């Protein structure tokens, strides 16, 4: 669901 690395693992960004 989320790409590895990067801040897109943060649901608030």
Instruction: Give me the residues that bind other proteins (CB under 8 A), please.
Output: 1-2, 5, 7-13
Instruction: Write the Ramachandran bin of 4: left for phi over 0, alpha for psi from -120 to 50, otherwise beta.
Output: beta
We find the least distance from the C-beta atom of residue 3 to other proteins, in angstroms, to be 10
CA–CA distances in Å: residue 6 to residues 1, 2: 13, 9
We find the least distance from the C-beta atom of residue 13 to other proteins, in angstroms, to be 5
């Amino acid at each position: 669901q989320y790409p590895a690395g990067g801040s897109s693992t943060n649901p608030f960004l």
